Amino acid sequence: MATKTLFNNIVDAFIAKINLNLVILGVGGVEERAEDPAVLDKVRKFGGYMYVIPLAEGRDRMDNMMGGTKDMYHNFSMNVVAYYDFTATTKSSKSLTSDLRLTRDYGYTLIDLFNGDDNQVGKGFFYRFELEQGYYEIIDRIIYTYNVKFFVKVLETE
């Protein structure tokens, strides 16, 4: 299998699994791309929206095997960035602390989807996760966000 096909299959399977779990993640959609300038429109429409950014750190480290094989180990990361506007939904407690907790809970729920027995998607194995969260104000709205960085290992074989 071509390296690009292997990589894209992992990304597609990752997004497909998220799509099956939109409700428990509190978002109305997910797509592959860098963050969208129209994110606020999507967040207002759905209450939450998510982006998958493969190679967010800009690299796929590939290590060849010795001995003339085409086997190769890959190490790369994918980021998932989610945005929530609880102002327009019934989910908001109108409390910054509670809404930050809800946002963080969604981030941990995402991690749980790819942890333990579920840590393989396609040929990719998720072996480490990093969660960051925050919020910012835009006029009369507070947009909550989290970023989960997924670290992936793959053994590409001939």
Q: What is the pLDDT of residue 72?
A: 84
Residue with more model confidence, 80 or 68: 80
Q: Mind listing the pLDDT tens digit for each residue in 26-77? A: 999 999 987 666 677 788 777 889 999 999 777 888 888 777 677 888 899 9
Q: What is the pLDDT of residue 158?
A: 67
- Domain range summary for the chain, segments of one domain joined by +: 3-156
DSSP state of 71: -
52 closest CA partner among 115, 118, 122, 110: 110
- Which structure tokens are listed for 64? 């060849």
Q: Mind listing the pLDDT tens digit for each residue in 91-147? A: 555 677 788 999 999 999 999 999 988 888 888 999 999 999 999 888 777 889 999
7-16, 79-88, 110-119: lowest mean pLDDT where? 79-88
Q: What is the pLDDT of residue 42?
A: 80
Give the span between the Cα atoms of 77 and 92, in whole angstroms.
32
Three-state secondary structure call for residue 74: strand
Q: Is 127 left (phi over 0), alpha (psi -120 to 50) or beta?
A: alpha
- 3-156 adopts what CATH topology? STM4215-like (3.30.2000)
